[in-house]
Every structure is written in structure tokens, then in C-alpha cells.
Amino acid sequence: MANNRLALITGASAGLGAEFARQYAAKGWDVALTARRLDRLDALARELEEKHKIATITISQDLALVKGVDTILRELKEAGRYVDALVNNAGYGLPGTFFDTSWKDQAAFIRVLYTAPIELVHKVLPGMVERKFGRIINVASLAGYAPGASGHTLYGSVKAGLIKFSESVHAEAQAAGHNIHCTALCPGFTRTEFHDANGTREAADQSPDWIWMKAGPVVEAGIEAVTKGQPVVVPGAVNKGLATLTKLVPEPLGRAVMKQQSKRFWMKDGD
């Protein structure tokens, strides 16, 4: 099993991260699973080992910590493994406006959703170049295409940044002739624990079923895109249509729509 390629997946304890682990394991990859909840990681690891006969590594780590990335990579090195595929999936929402949230919370948010993913890419790339193979998926969001809105202030900014970053890394790898692909996966509304964690489940449940996707097809689209060397992928026909609309709708109208929708999905109760 140690001869299998290894996929490192952040935020692997639930949602898209757990689904990435299941799909990579089903393809015969070994998986390194990292998140804060070790009990969940260990349970998932047992499931994948029994079902797919692959090797797993579980690492409990908080990416909000400055040394979080180094700790993860050090544990992999001590296990004698290196990263063939990286899935930067860890993330969460920070309800409320920029005015009523603390800088400590905002700084941790930036660290987990933006700085740590970029640091991981930077630190695994040299090994990928040396081995002449690498696959990187940065889980961005359809929010990266939309105008800014009130509430969850930095979410769209971070996701837009991940899209541009992924495009740039992919372009640089291709220009250098490396067999390294980097893809920004940009899902829309996906049925995971995300809305439970950020307190918007009630509002999300009131939205129509046709805007939702299940985790399986979203992850499948991401893996397929990075395998083919597609720098950005928006999964699902509805999401593709919405992404196109954001480019066609006049900016004032787009901001007005986001202002209305943010009252439902982005604001804390009482805001």
C-alpha cells in the first residue's frame, strides 16, 4: 500500500473533505486526513481501510495555528510519505459583519481559508516538481464570482483569491513543463454540514431544492477537472449558469441582488 500515491485532504472530518477521501480511496489512493476532530478522522480512516484496502494517516491539527502546516508535513515526513495530491478543503463561515466581529476571528478565518492553503501549496510543490507529478485542488466557491455582500465579509474575497491563485499556479506549472495540475473547485449550495456550522441551516432549508447539489457530484467534478488539467471548474448546470450570469449582469443590479440575498444566507439571526 505504501507504493500507492498519497492524497492529503484538509477539513477531512466531514462534508466535502470526507467525500474527497472516499473518492480518492475508491481510486486506490492512500489518504492523509487532517482536521481538528481526530475521532471523526479515525472513524473515516477505519472505514476506508476496510472497504478499499488502502493506507491512511490521520493528523489532528488546527490550521489557524501558525505552525499548523509545518506540523502536518512533518508528520507525513516522519511516516515516510509525501504528497502526490493536495486537496485544500478546510473552511467555515464567519457570520456577522466586519463591524461586529473581532480581528482575532477574522485573522483566524484568513489563516484557515487562505494563508494555510497557499502555504501548503508552496511547501508541497518542490517535491511534486522533483517527482514530476502533482495534483492540487483548492476548494473555492461560486461566491468568488459574485459581488460582495453584507455579512461573511471576507468569504467571497478569499474564494475569489483562491480562484486566481489556482489559475496562476496551474499556468506556471504548465509553462515550466511540469506534470502538475492545479484546479479551483467552485461549488454553489452543497448539502454538507457547512450551514449547520455557521448557523444558517434554517435559511438554507427554505431555499428551493433545484439550487442544491450533493457532495458526491461536486467532488467528482473536482477530481475529474484536476486530472484533465482544468484550472477552474464550476460543478452543475445551475451553478454554471449562475457563474455566467455574474459576468453578464450589470454590476449595480448584481450588488442589489446580493444585498437582498445576504439577508437570508449571510447575516446572523438578529442582524
Residues involved in catalysis: 155
Cα distance between residue 118 and residue 88, in whole Å: 9
Cα distance between residue 62 and residue 56, in whole Å: 19
Radius of gyration of the chain (CA): 18
Burial 130-163 (b: 16+ CB within 10 A, else e): eeeebbbbbbbbbbbbbbbbbbbbbbbbbbbbbb
Cα distance between residue 82 and residue 77, in whole Å: 7
**Residue spans of alpha helices (H) in the chain:** 15-26, 38-52, 68-78, 103-110, 116-131, 155-175, 194-197, 201-205, 215-228, 237-248, 251-265
Locate 236 and state its grid cell: 452543475
Cα distance between residue 204 and residue 200, in whole Å: 6
Q: Judge whether 259 and 150 are in contact, CB under 8 Å.
A: yes
Locate 63 and state its grid cell: 490550521
Locate 78 and state its grid cell: 516522519
Cα distance between residue 66 and residue 138, in whole Å: 20
